[in-house]
Amino acid sequence: MQVISAEEVKKRMDNKETLHLVDVREPYEHEEFNIGGVLIPLKKIQSMEIDELESLKDQEVICYCRSGNRSGQACLLLETAGFSNVKNLAGGMLGWQENFVK
């Protein structure tokens, strides 16, 4: 599993790159604050209910959660499922908010 920094993701977002962001938190967390990723809670990934991601198996997928722990688990599960370019957002939304939300 690769790790990507919040700074790198923010820079790429600012440059209008197309990013495949996956928020593995719970719906209430996603509603409170998110950076535009598709919501697929970790429990769905654990049960392999990931049909909406199948088309991304050979593309970069960036997973994030609150702190980076759940998204790390999600990355490992996706890699096991055959995804070839999965990255974990270092520090999760806590790190993102610390760096970019005033």
Active-site amino acid positions: 65
**Residue written as tokens 């088309």?**
55
Burial 56-73 (b: 16+ CB within 10 A, else e): beeebbbbbbbebebbbb
